[in-house]
Amino acid sequence: MEKLSLTDLLAPSSPAMELAGAFTDAGNDLYLVGGPVRDAWLKRPHEDLDFATDATPEETQKIVKPLARAVWLQGVDYGTVGAEIAGIRMEITTFRTETYQPGSRHPKVDFATDIETDLSRRDFTINAMAIRLPDGKAIDPFGGAKDLAAGVIRTPLDPEISFSDDPLRMLRAFRFQSQLGLKIEASVLSAISDLREKILTVSAERIRDEFSKLVLGDGLDKALQQADATGITDLFLPELSGLKLEQDPVHKHKDVFHHTLAVAMRTRSDLDLRLAALLHDIGKPKTRKIEAEGVTFHHHEIEGARMAGERLRELRYPNQTVLTVVDLIRLHHRFHTYRLGWSDSAVRRYVRDAGGLLGLLNELVRADCTTRNPAKAKKLQARMDELEERIADLASREELQSLRPELDGVQIMAFLGVEPGPVIGEAYEFLLELRLEEGVLGTETVYERLDSWARERGVTPVGEKVPPKPKKRSEGD
Protein backbone atom coordinates (compact mmCIF):
# COMPACT_ATOMS: atom_id res chain seq x y z
CA MET A 1 0.00 0.00 0.00
CA GLU A 2 1.29 3.48 -0.90
CA LYS A 3 2.71 5.53 1.96
CA LEU A 4 1.37 9.07 2.35
CA SER A 5 3.06 12.27 3.47
CA LEU A 6 1.28 15.13 5.25
CA THR A 7 1.25 17.07 1.98
CA ASP A 8 -0.53 14.15 0.31
CA LEU A 9 -3.04 13.90 3.16
CA LEU A 10 -3.99 17.59 3.14
CA ALA A 11 -4.17 18.01 -0.62
CA PRO A 12 -7.66 19.31 -1.54
CA SER A 13 -8.43 16.27 -3.69
CA SER A 14 -7.03 13.67 -1.27
CA PRO A 15 -9.23 10.83 0.06
CA ALA A 16 -8.80 12.18 3.61
CA MET A 17 -10.12 15.59 2.59
CA GLU A 18 -12.96 13.98 0.65
CA LEU A 19 -13.88 12.06 3.80
CA ALA A 20 -13.64 15.25 5.87
CA GLY A 21 -16.00 17.00 3.47
CA ALA A 22 -18.56 14.24 3.88
CA PHE A 23 -18.42 14.54 7.69
CA THR A 24 -18.68 18.33 7.51
CA ASP A 25 -21.72 18.07 5.23
CA ALA A 26 -23.30 15.75 7.81
CA GLY A 27 -22.65 18.29 10.58
CA ASN A 28 -19.85 16.33 12.29
CA ASP A 29 -16.21 16.94 13.16
CA LEU A 30 -13.34 14.82 11.87
CA TYR A 31 -9.74 14.74 13.13
CA LEU A 32 -6.69 12.89 11.86
CA VAL A 33 -5.14 11.39 15.00
CA GLY A 34 -2.41 9.14 16.41
CA GLY A 35 0.41 7.63 14.41
CA PRO A 36 -0.24 9.46 11.12
CA VAL A 37 0.01 12.84 12.90
CA ARG A 38 3.16 11.82 14.77
CA ASP A 39 4.78 10.53 11.59
CA ALA A 40 3.72 13.65 9.69
CA TRP A 41 5.53 15.76 12.29
CA LEU A 42 8.61 13.55 11.87
CA LYS A 43 8.26 13.76 8.07
CA ARG A 44 7.82 10.00 7.91
CA PRO A 45 5.24 8.63 5.46
CA HIS A 46 2.39 6.56 6.88
CA GLU A 47 0.19 3.88 5.34
CA ASP A 48 -3.07 3.44 7.29
CA LEU A 49 -5.01 6.44 8.57
CA ASP A 50 -6.77 6.89 11.93
CA PHE A 51 -9.51 9.43 12.52
CA ALA A 52 -11.58 10.55 15.51
CA THR A 53 -15.05 12.03 15.27
CA ASP A 54 -18.01 13.16 17.35
CA ALA A 55 -20.28 11.08 15.09
CA THR A 56 -21.68 7.87 16.55
CA PRO A 57 -20.63 4.59 14.93
CA GLU A 58 -24.05 4.37 13.26
CA GLU A 59 -23.70 7.90 11.84
CA THR A 60 -20.16 7.13 10.69
CA GLN A 61 -21.35 4.09 8.73
CA LYS A 62 -23.91 6.20 6.85
CA ILE A 63 -21.31 8.84 6.01
CA VAL A 64 -18.62 6.39 4.93
CA LYS A 65 -20.56 3.84 2.87
CA PRO A 66 -21.07 6.01 -0.26
CA LEU A 67 -17.30 6.67 -0.42
CA ALA A 68 -15.87 3.27 0.52
CA ARG A 69 -14.93 0.29 -1.56
CA ALA A 70 -15.28 -1.84 1.57
CA VAL A 71 -16.47 -1.31 5.15
CA TRP A 72 -15.71 -3.54 8.13
CA LEU A 73 -17.34 -3.43 11.55
CA GLN A 74 -15.24 -5.76 13.71
CA GLY A 75 -14.47 -2.87 16.09
CA VAL A 76 -17.87 -1.19 16.02
CA ASP A 77 -18.64 -2.21 19.62
CA TYR A 78 -15.63 -0.10 20.61
CA GLY A 79 -16.68 2.80 18.39
CA THR A 80 -14.50 2.00 15.35
CA VAL A 81 -15.66 1.74 11.75
CA GLY A 82 -13.07 0.55 9.22
CA ALA A 83 -13.14 1.42 5.53
CA GLU A 84 -11.07 1.29 2.38
CA ILE A 85 -11.32 4.53 0.43
CA ALA A 86 -9.32 5.08 -2.75
CA GLY A 87 -7.08 2.15 -1.83
CA ILE A 88 -6.27 3.51 1.66
CA ARG A 89 -7.25 1.67 4.86
CA MET A 90 -8.90 4.03 7.30
CA GLU A 91 -10.37 3.64 10.78
CA ILE A 92 -12.82 6.21 12.11
CA THR A 93 -13.49 6.07 15.85
CA THR A 94 -16.02 7.96 17.93
CA PHE A 95 -14.40 10.12 20.65
CA ARG A 96 -13.82 7.74 23.56
CA THR A 97 -11.83 6.71 26.59
CA GLU A 98 -10.91 3.10 27.29
CA THR A 99 -9.52 1.00 30.11
CA TYR A 100 -8.53 -2.65 30.33
CA GLN A 101 -9.91 -4.59 33.27
CA PRO A 102 -7.48 -7.08 34.92
CA GLY A 103 -7.60 -10.40 33.10
CA SER A 104 -9.66 -9.00 30.20
CA ARG A 105 -8.39 -8.86 26.61
CA HIS A 106 -10.97 -6.24 25.66
CA PRO A 107 -11.19 -2.62 26.80
CA LYS A 108 -14.10 -1.02 28.60
CA VAL A 109 -15.07 1.84 26.32
CA ASP A 110 -16.85 5.05 27.28
CA PHE A 111 -17.69 7.53 24.55
CA ALA A 112 -16.58 11.13 24.98
CA THR A 113 -17.90 14.38 23.52
CA ASP A 114 -14.72 16.27 22.65
CA ILE A 115 -11.33 15.67 21.07
CA GLU A 116 -9.30 16.79 24.12
CA THR A 117 -10.86 14.10 26.32
CA ASP A 118 -10.22 11.53 23.60
CA LEU A 119 -6.57 12.56 23.31
CA SER A 120 -6.06 12.62 27.07
CA ARG A 121 -6.53 8.84 27.34
CA ARG A 122 -4.05 7.94 24.61
CA ASP A 123 -0.76 6.24 25.42
CA PHE A 124 1.85 8.99 24.94
CA THR A 125 1.88 12.70 24.18
CA ILE A 126 3.53 12.02 20.82
CA ASN A 127 0.40 10.07 19.87
CA ALA A 128 -2.02 12.53 21.50
CA MET A 129 -1.94 15.12 18.72
CA ALA A 130 -4.62 15.70 16.10
CA ILE A 131 -5.19 17.65 12.89
CA ARG A 132 -8.69 18.98 12.40
CA LEU A 133 -10.02 18.45 8.90
CA PRO A 134 -10.66 20.00 6.49
CA ASP A 135 -9.06 23.23 7.81
CA GLY A 136 -5.79 21.53 8.94
CA LYS A 137 -5.69 23.09 12.42
CA ALA A 138 -3.23 21.36 14.79
CA ILE A 139 -4.62 20.17 18.15
CA ASP A 140 -1.87 19.45 20.70
CA PRO A 141 -3.18 19.90 24.28
CA PHE A 142 -0.40 17.84 25.93
CA GLY A 143 2.71 19.10 24.17
CA GLY A 144 3.34 16.16 21.90
CA ALA A 145 5.17 18.24 19.29
CA LYS A 146 7.45 19.68 21.97
CA ASP A 147 8.20 16.17 23.26
CA LEU A 148 8.98 14.95 19.75
CA ALA A 149 11.37 17.87 19.30
CA ALA A 150 13.02 17.01 22.60
CA GLY A 151 13.04 13.29 21.79
CA VAL A 152 11.04 12.36 24.91
CA ILE A 153 8.40 9.72 25.57
CA ARG A 154 5.88 10.99 28.12
CA THR A 155 2.26 10.17 29.00
CA PRO A 156 -0.55 12.75 28.65
CA LEU A 157 -1.81 12.02 32.19
CA ASP A 158 0.02 10.60 35.18
CA PRO A 159 1.86 7.48 33.93
CA GLU A 160 0.26 5.34 36.63
CA ILE A 161 -3.16 6.23 35.22
CA SER A 162 -2.03 5.60 31.65
CA PHE A 163 -0.48 2.21 32.42
CA SER A 164 -3.38 1.13 34.59
CA ASP A 165 -5.74 1.94 31.69
CA ASP A 166 -3.72 -0.41 29.46
CA PRO A 167 -0.60 -2.14 30.89
CA LEU A 168 0.65 -2.98 27.38
CA ARG A 169 1.62 0.68 27.10
CA MET A 170 4.59 -0.06 29.36
CA LEU A 171 6.07 -2.31 26.66
CA ARG A 172 4.95 0.09 23.95
CA ALA A 173 7.16 2.79 25.46
CA PHE A 174 10.20 0.66 24.72
CA ARG A 175 8.85 -0.10 21.26
CA PHE A 176 8.77 3.61 20.42
CA GLN A 177 12.21 4.03 21.95
CA SER A 178 13.48 1.30 19.61
CA GLN A 179 11.63 2.54 16.52
CA LEU A 180 12.04 6.30 16.89
CA GLY A 181 15.20 6.67 18.97
CA LEU A 182 13.41 8.60 21.72
CA LYS A 183 14.26 8.68 25.43
CA ILE A 184 11.73 7.59 28.03
CA GLU A 185 11.06 10.19 30.72
CA ALA A 186 12.33 9.22 34.18
CA SER A 187 8.84 9.30 35.74
CA VAL A 188 7.59 6.93 33.04
CA LEU A 189 10.44 4.49 33.68
CA SER A 190 9.78 4.66 37.40
CA ALA A 191 6.09 3.89 36.88
CA ILE A 192 6.96 0.92 34.66
CA SER A 193 9.21 -0.47 37.37
CA ASP A 194 6.46 -0.07 39.95
CA LEU A 195 3.63 -1.43 37.79
CA ARG A 196 5.48 -4.06 35.74
CA GLU A 197 3.48 -6.93 37.26
CA LYS A 198 0.41 -5.59 35.46
CA ILE A 199 1.86 -6.83 32.17
CA LEU A 200 0.80 -10.31 33.33
CA THR A 201 -2.84 -9.29 32.77
CA VAL A 202 -2.17 -8.66 29.06
CA SER A 203 -2.76 -11.44 26.55
CA ALA A 204 0.26 -13.20 25.05
CA GLU A 205 -0.86 -12.17 21.56
CA ARG A 206 -0.78 -8.45 22.39
CA ILE A 207 2.62 -8.76 24.07
CA ARG A 208 3.92 -10.69 21.04
CA ASP A 209 2.80 -8.03 18.57
CA GLU A 210 4.31 -5.17 20.59
CA PHE A 211 7.54 -7.04 21.25
CA SER A 212 7.91 -7.89 17.55
CA LYS A 213 7.71 -4.20 16.64
CA LEU A 214 10.32 -3.42 19.30
CA VAL A 215 12.63 -6.13 17.96
CA LEU A 216 12.45 -4.73 14.42
CA GLY A 217 13.48 -1.21 15.50
CA ASP A 218 16.91 0.29 14.87
CA GLY A 219 17.41 0.97 18.59
CA LEU A 220 16.43 -2.40 20.01
CA ASP A 221 19.64 -2.67 22.06
CA LYS A 222 19.05 0.47 24.13
CA ALA A 223 15.33 -0.27 24.41
CA LEU A 224 15.89 -3.82 25.68
CA GLN A 225 18.59 -2.70 28.12
CA GLN A 226 16.18 -0.19 29.68
CA ALA A 227 13.28 -2.64 29.60
CA ASP A 228 15.46 -5.19 31.37
CA ALA A 229 16.47 -2.60 33.97
CA THR A 230 12.80 -2.07 34.90
CA GLY A 231 12.27 -5.81 35.32
CA ILE A 232 9.38 -6.00 32.86
CA THR A 233 11.13 -8.37 30.45
CA ASP A 234 11.56 -10.89 33.29
CA LEU A 235 7.80 -11.38 33.18
CA PHE A 236 7.49 -12.43 29.52
CA LEU A 237 11.08 -13.11 28.37
CA PRO A 238 13.11 -14.11 31.47
CA GLU A 239 15.72 -15.83 29.29
CA LEU A 240 17.02 -12.41 28.24
CA SER A 241 18.10 -11.23 31.69
CA GLY A 242 19.28 -14.79 32.36
CA LEU A 243 22.13 -14.09 29.94
CA LYS A 244 23.78 -11.76 32.49
CA LEU A 245 26.02 -14.52 33.75
CA GLU A 246 28.22 -13.95 36.78
CA GLN A 247 31.82 -13.72 35.68
CA ASP A 248 34.24 -16.29 37.07
CA PRO A 249 37.34 -14.33 38.26
CA VAL A 250 39.74 -16.83 36.68
CA HIS A 251 37.94 -18.35 33.70
CA LYS A 252 36.36 -15.23 32.22
CA HIS A 253 34.05 -15.24 29.22
CA LYS A 254 32.39 -12.52 27.19
CA ASP A 255 29.31 -10.71 28.55
CA VAL A 256 26.60 -12.85 26.95
CA PHE A 257 23.80 -10.31 27.53
CA HIS A 258 25.53 -7.45 25.72
CA HIS A 259 26.96 -9.84 23.12
CA THR A 260 23.40 -10.92 22.32
CA LEU A 261 22.22 -7.34 21.86
CA ALA A 262 25.24 -6.66 19.65
CA VAL A 263 24.44 -9.69 17.48
CA ALA A 264 20.83 -8.55 17.07
CA MET A 265 21.98 -5.07 16.09
CA ARG A 266 24.22 -6.57 13.40
CA THR A 267 21.26 -8.25 11.68
CA ARG A 268 18.85 -6.65 9.24
CA SER A 269 15.29 -5.90 10.29
CA ASP A 270 13.79 -9.35 9.66
CA LEU A 271 11.62 -10.77 12.45
CA ASP A 272 12.77 -14.40 12.26
CA LEU A 273 16.41 -13.36 12.04
CA ARG A 274 16.15 -10.84 14.89
CA LEU A 275 14.35 -13.32 17.17
CA ALA A 276 17.00 -15.95 16.44
CA ALA A 277 19.74 -13.42 17.21
CA LEU A 278 18.14 -12.47 20.55
CA LEU A 279 17.63 -16.08 21.59
CA HIS A 280 20.64 -17.81 20.03
CA ASP A 281 22.62 -18.05 23.28
CA ILE A 282 19.83 -18.55 25.85
CA GLY A 283 21.01 -22.12 26.37
CA LYS A 284 24.36 -20.94 27.77
CA PRO A 285 23.31 -20.43 31.42
CA LYS A 286 22.10 -24.05 31.66
CA THR A 287 25.13 -25.52 29.90
CA ARG A 288 27.92 -23.43 31.44
CA LYS A 289 30.72 -25.42 33.02
CA ILE A 290 34.05 -24.32 34.41
CA GLU A 291 36.71 -26.75 33.25
CA ALA A 292 40.48 -26.81 33.10
CA GLU A 293 40.55 -25.10 29.69
CA GLY A 294 38.12 -22.41 30.81
CA VAL A 295 34.38 -21.79 30.69
CA THR A 296 32.49 -24.02 28.26
CA PHE A 297 28.93 -24.07 26.94
CA HIS A 298 28.84 -27.45 25.24
CA HIS A 299 25.65 -28.07 23.23
CA HIS A 300 24.19 -24.71 24.25
CA GLU A 301 22.67 -24.44 20.77
CA ILE A 302 20.60 -27.60 21.33
CA GLU A 303 19.35 -26.48 24.74
CA GLY A 304 18.80 -22.97 23.41
CA ALA A 305 16.71 -24.22 20.49
CA ARG A 306 14.49 -26.16 22.89
CA MET A 307 14.07 -23.18 25.22
CA ALA A 308 13.39 -20.79 22.34
CA GLY A 309 10.66 -23.05 21.01
CA GLU A 310 8.94 -23.13 24.39
CA ARG A 311 9.15 -19.37 24.88
CA LEU A 312 7.94 -18.45 21.39
CA ARG A 313 5.00 -20.84 21.67
CA GLU A 314 4.03 -19.26 25.00
CA LEU A 315 4.06 -15.89 23.23
CA ARG A 316 1.78 -17.37 20.55
CA TYR A 317 4.14 -16.86 17.63
CA PRO A 318 3.03 -18.65 14.43
CA ASN A 319 4.33 -22.20 14.02
CA GLN A 320 6.42 -21.26 10.99
CA THR A 321 8.20 -18.52 12.94
CA VAL A 322 8.86 -20.91 15.82
CA LEU A 323 10.25 -23.62 13.53
CA THR A 324 12.46 -21.16 11.66
CA VAL A 325 13.94 -19.61 14.81
CA VAL A 326 14.46 -23.00 16.46
CA ASP A 327 16.30 -24.35 13.41
CA LEU A 328 18.49 -21.24 13.10
CA ILE A 329 19.51 -21.52 16.77
CA ARG A 330 20.09 -25.27 16.52
CA LEU A 331 22.39 -24.80 13.52
CA HIS A 332 24.11 -21.49 14.32
CA HIS A 333 27.11 -23.09 16.03
CA ARG A 334 27.70 -25.67 13.30
CA PHE A 335 30.01 -23.28 11.48
CA HIS A 336 32.43 -23.22 14.42
CA THR A 337 32.81 -27.02 14.46
CA TYR A 338 34.70 -27.00 11.15
CA ARG A 339 37.84 -25.24 12.30
CA LEU A 340 40.12 -27.65 10.44
CA GLY A 341 38.52 -27.01 7.07
CA TRP A 342 35.44 -27.99 5.15
CA SER A 343 35.31 -31.29 3.30
CA ASP A 344 32.82 -31.61 0.47
CA SER A 345 30.80 -33.90 2.74
CA ALA A 346 30.68 -31.26 5.48
CA VAL A 347 29.51 -28.61 3.02
CA ARG A 348 26.76 -30.90 1.70
CA ARG A 349 25.53 -31.66 5.22
CA TYR A 350 25.54 -27.98 6.18
CA VAL A 351 23.48 -27.09 3.11
CA ARG A 352 21.16 -30.09 3.51
CA ASP A 353 20.48 -29.36 7.19
CA ALA A 354 19.95 -25.63 6.59
CA GLY A 355 17.63 -26.23 3.63
CA GLY A 356 15.70 -23.08 2.78
CA LEU A 357 17.19 -21.28 5.80
CA LEU A 358 20.73 -21.28 4.38
CA GLY A 359 20.76 -17.54 3.64
CA LEU A 360 19.36 -16.57 7.06
CA LEU A 361 21.71 -19.00 8.80
CA ASN A 362 24.76 -17.50 7.13
CA GLU A 363 23.56 -14.00 8.07
CA LEU A 364 23.18 -15.08 11.70
CA VAL A 365 26.62 -16.70 11.74
CA ARG A 366 28.24 -13.53 10.39
CA ALA A 367 26.37 -11.36 12.92
CA ASP A 368 27.50 -13.65 15.74
CA CYS A 369 31.08 -12.47 15.27
CA THR A 370 31.26 -9.55 17.72
CA THR A 371 34.88 -9.87 18.82
CA ARG A 372 36.81 -6.63 19.25
CA ASN A 373 40.01 -8.38 18.18
CA PRO A 374 40.50 -7.21 14.55
CA ALA A 375 42.68 -10.19 13.63
CA LYS A 376 40.19 -12.71 15.03
CA ALA A 377 37.25 -10.95 13.37
CA LYS A 378 39.05 -10.91 10.03
CA LYS A 379 39.85 -14.61 10.37
CA LEU A 380 36.24 -15.54 11.17
CA GLN A 381 34.89 -13.53 8.26
CA ALA A 382 37.47 -15.11 5.92
CA ARG A 383 36.36 -18.57 7.01
CA MET A 384 32.74 -17.63 6.34
CA ASP A 385 33.71 -16.27 2.92
CA GLU A 386 35.48 -19.55 2.20
CA LEU A 387 32.45 -21.59 3.22
CA GLU A 388 30.13 -19.59 0.98
CA GLU A 389 32.57 -19.95 -1.90
CA ARG A 390 32.65 -23.71 -1.33
CA ILE A 391 28.86 -23.83 -1.30
CA ALA A 392 28.70 -21.89 -4.57
CA ASP A 393 31.35 -24.11 -6.15
CA LEU A 394 29.61 -27.35 -5.18
CA ALA A 395 26.22 -25.94 -6.14
CA SER A 396 27.51 -25.32 -9.65
CA ARG A 397 28.40 -29.02 -9.93
CA GLU A 398 25.73 -30.66 -7.77
CA GLU A 399 22.10 -29.97 -6.88
CA LEU A 400 22.90 -28.93 -3.32
CA GLN A 401 19.53 -27.32 -2.62
CA SER A 402 17.69 -30.57 -3.40
CA LEU A 403 20.07 -33.23 -2.14
CA ARG A 404 18.63 -36.70 -2.56
CA PRO A 405 19.94 -40.16 -3.44
CA GLU A 406 20.74 -40.91 -7.06
CA LEU A 407 18.06 -43.64 -6.98
CA ASP A 408 14.47 -42.90 -6.07
CA GLY A 409 12.08 -45.13 -4.12
CA VAL A 410 10.71 -46.86 -7.23
CA GLN A 411 14.23 -47.73 -8.45
CA ILE A 412 15.24 -49.04 -5.00
CA MET A 413 12.14 -51.30 -4.74
CA ALA A 414 12.62 -52.64 -8.28
CA PHE A 415 16.31 -53.41 -7.70
CA LEU A 416 15.81 -55.05 -4.31
CA GLY A 417 12.54 -56.76 -5.27
CA VAL A 418 11.00 -55.65 -1.97
CA GLU A 419 7.60 -54.07 -1.31
CA PRO A 420 7.34 -50.71 0.52
CA GLY A 421 8.42 -51.07 4.13
CA PRO A 422 11.27 -50.45 6.61
CA VAL A 423 13.96 -51.95 4.34
CA ILE A 424 13.21 -49.44 1.60
CA GLY A 425 13.44 -46.57 4.10
CA GLU A 426 16.76 -47.87 5.42
CA ALA A 427 18.07 -48.27 1.87
CA TYR A 428 17.03 -44.71 1.04
CA GLU A 429 18.86 -43.37 4.12
CA PHE A 430 21.96 -45.40 3.17
CA LEU A 431 21.97 -43.91 -0.34
CA LEU A 432 21.39 -40.41 1.00
CA GLU A 433 24.34 -40.82 3.35
CA LEU A 434 26.39 -42.05 0.37
CA ARG A 435 25.34 -38.95 -1.60
CA LEU A 436 26.34 -36.65 1.24
CA GLU A 437 29.67 -38.33 1.87
CA GLU A 438 30.87 -38.97 -1.69
CA GLY A 439 28.78 -36.78 -3.97
CA VAL A 440 27.52 -37.91 -7.38
CA LEU A 441 28.86 -41.39 -8.21
CA GLY A 442 26.71 -42.39 -11.18
CA THR A 443 23.82 -44.88 -11.09
CA GLU A 444 25.90 -47.98 -11.95
CA THR A 445 28.24 -47.41 -9.02
CA VAL A 446 25.29 -46.63 -6.73
CA TYR A 447 23.56 -49.89 -7.76
CA GLU A 448 26.77 -51.79 -6.91
CA ARG A 449 26.95 -50.15 -3.47
CA LEU A 450 23.25 -50.83 -2.86
CA ASP A 451 23.77 -54.49 -3.83
CA SER A 452 26.57 -54.86 -1.27
CA TRP A 453 24.56 -53.08 1.42
CA ALA A 454 21.51 -55.33 0.83
CA ARG A 455 23.45 -58.62 0.86
CA GLU A 456 25.08 -57.65 4.19
CA ARG A 457 21.53 -57.50 5.57
CA GLY A 458 20.42 -60.82 4.13
CA VAL A 459 18.49 -59.33 1.22
CA THR A 460 19.28 -60.74 -2.24
CA PRO A 461 18.50 -58.08 -4.86
CA VAL A 462 16.63 -59.16 -7.98
CA GLY A 463 18.72 -56.65 -9.91
CA GLU A 464 15.99 -54.96 -11.93
CA LYS A 465 17.18 -51.51 -12.98
CA VAL A 466 14.37 -49.08 -13.72
CA PRO A 467 15.23 -45.94 -15.72
CA PRO A 468 14.83 -42.78 -13.66
CA LYS A 469 11.80 -40.60 -14.25
CA PRO A 470 12.61 -37.83 -16.72
CA LYS A 471 12.76 -34.38 -15.18
CA LYS A 472 9.86 -32.10 -15.97
CA ARG A 473 10.78 -29.53 -18.56
CA SER A 474 10.10 -25.97 -17.64
CA GLU A 475 7.90 -23.81 -19.86
CA GLY A 476 10.92 -21.99 -21.24
CA ASP A 477 12.92 -25.11 -22.19
- Taking each helix axis from N to C end, the angle separating 422-438 and 344-354, rounded to the nearest 10 degrees, works out to 130
Asked if 309 and 318 count as a contact pair (C-beta separation under 8 A), the reply is no
Say whether 254 sits in a helix, a strand or coil.
Answer: coil
Element (H, E) at 229: helix 220-230
Within 337-475, strands assigned E span none
Beta bridge partners of 84: 70, 89
Beta carbons within 10 angstroms of residue 394's beta carbon: 17
**In this predicted structure, what is the pLDDT of residue 1?**
44
Q: What is the CATH number of domain 152-236?
A: 1.10.110.30
**In this predicted structure, what is the pLDDT of residue 249?**
46
CATH of the domain spanning 6-150, picked from 3.90.1150.10, 3.40.50.300, 3.40.91.50, 3.30.460.10 = 3.30.460.10
Say whether 129 sits in a helix, a strand or coil.
Answer: coil
Asked if 14 and 51 count as a contact pair (C-beta separation under 8 A), the reply is no
With a cut of 50, list the residues of the chain below it in pLDDT: 1, 248-251, 473-477
pLDDT tens digits for range 73-117: 988 988 899 999 998 999 999 998 766 655 555 666 677 789 999
pTM of the model: 0.79
Residue 385's contacts (CB-CB under 8 Å, 6 or more residues apart) are: none
DSSP 8-state assignment for residue 333: T
Please tell me the number of Cα atoms within 13 Å of 265 on its side-chain side.
17
Share of the chain above pLDDT 70, in %: 89
Distance, CA of 268 to CA of 244 (rounded, Å):
24
**In this predicted structure, what is the pLDDT of residue 339?**
60
Please tell me the number of Cα atoms within 13 Å of 200 on its side-chain side.
6
Say whether 405 sits in a helix, a strand or coil.
Answer: coil
Domain residue ranges in the chain = 6-150, 152-236, 237-250+266-403, 404-456
Strands 130-133 and 137-139: antiparallel
pLDDT tens digits for range 422-443: 888 888 888 888 887 788 888 8
